[in-house]
A and B are shown apart, each in its own frame.
Chain A
């Protein structure tokens, strides 16, 4: 920043200061969200603030202070790189969190994944029952048939599907 700035320099310095402090406040907001939100999913919501908007604000401040046109494409590349990597890692963390049940189901308004998981579980149970039936066709047929019917019923009860 220019010492004893006047005119345009002073205006740019004030804008830069506002951008920098806003970008730092994004980090503070993420930390407060990490401390106060109840489960992993809502903490993930807070954690993306400094990674995207905070980085954008401080990179814009750098671009304003350098005052060279060739800086902006480099800063844009740095920001787009962050924009490409953050959703992928957030997806992986969210998927692992759902699979290991790091969530409070009563806090979710909708759980669209639950129906998919249940349907896949029902299909897998039906396939396993069919395999058990075809693997041992003549030894203990009655028991295998019973297993298959149980598996199929369990799958259908959760599935609601037509494969009775």
Chain B
């Protein structure tokens, strides 16, 4: 049971992380990359939480909250200072 859950969630999360990384790499605008890196942080948080649930410990909980905070500060900061580039209008 434990091994099956671990393998299935690992495969699913790996596919999801690959998709998010692909969007970070090719994403046409800066905001798409910010959004995809937010999703990547959520996937990392899910992996930490699954590790805690399967192995019955709470060591990663502080790391999970810190990850949330990092994602919040990062995306707000980048979104605040996005420049309005007139040459690349509507390239999303």
Contact = CB atoms under 8 A, between A and B. Distances in A.
A85 B79 CA distance: 14
Interface in B1-15: 1-2, 4-5, 8-9, 12-13, 15
A78 B20 contact: no
Given A21-B9, A44-B35, A89 B49 contact: no
A89 B71 contact: yes
A43 B9 contact: no
Interface string B13-46: 1011111101100000101101110110011011
- DSSP majority for the B interface? helix
A138 interface: no
Give the interface size bracket for B toward A.
35 or more
A85 B46 contact: no
A81 B39 contact: no
Given A16-B53, A93-B79, A104-B90, 18 more contacts: A1-B56, A13-B1, A20-B5, A21-B8, A24-B16, A27-B17, A28-B15, A31-B20, A40-B35, A44-B35, A62-B52, A62-B58, A88-B72, A89-B79, A95-B79, A96-B82, A102-B32, A103-B90
Interface of B: 1-2, 4-5, 8-9, 12-13, 15-20, 22-23, 29, 31-32, 34-36, 38-39, 42-43, 45-46, 49-50, 52-54, 56, 58, 61, 64-65, 68-69, 71-72, 75-76, 79-80, 82-85, 89-92
